């Protein structure tokens, strides 16, 4: 696990404010910019549940080091989701481990984006 990565919003176990939340993390190494982000209903990120798996440049996202669930693919209401990030290794480098797995719940009902 990568202990130098930590969730900012929502905090692990916290509540998201919408069905298209912005997930933000912090990294103790400011020279890292590219991250892979995974979001799933499955805490093991296996094939049993839909998976969001995106590459983001944390230096150009708003806020920095964040991922927003796309409005076209909102999360399910009143559900628990799991997410994690890892620095993206460029070229032929060996992928690094994922961060700890963090969780959040989505609001009940339709939820505003």
**How far is 63 from 2, CA to CA, in rounded Å?**
21
CA of residue 53 relative to chain centroid, distance: 9
Q: Which two tokens stand for residue 65?
A: 């080091």
Q: Over its length of 113 residues, how does the chain's per-residue pLDDT go in tens digits? A: 567 899 999 999 999 999 999 999 999 887 888 999 999 999 999 888 778 999 999 989 999 999 999 999 999 999 999 999 999 987 777 888 999 999 999 999 754 44
**How far is 70 from 21, CA to CA, in rounded Å?**
9
Cα of first residue to Cα of last residue in the chain, in angstroms, is 31
Q: Residues 83, 35, 52, 97: is their CA dihedral positive or negative?
A: negative
């Amino acid at each position: 696990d990568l202990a130098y990565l930590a969730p900012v919003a929502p905090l692990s176990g916290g509540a998201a404010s919408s069905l298209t939340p912005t997930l933000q993390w912090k990294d103790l190494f400011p020279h890292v910019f590219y991250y892979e982000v995974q979001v799933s209903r499955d805490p093991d990120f296996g094939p049993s549940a839909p998976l969001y798996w995106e590459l983001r440049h944390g230096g150009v996202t708003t806020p920095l080091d964040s991922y927003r669930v796309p409005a076209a693919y909102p999360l399910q209401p009143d559900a628990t989701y799991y997410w994690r990030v890892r620095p993206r290794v460029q070229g032929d480098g060996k992928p690094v481990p994922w961060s700890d797995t963090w969780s959040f719940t989505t609001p009940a009902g339709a939820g505003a984006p």
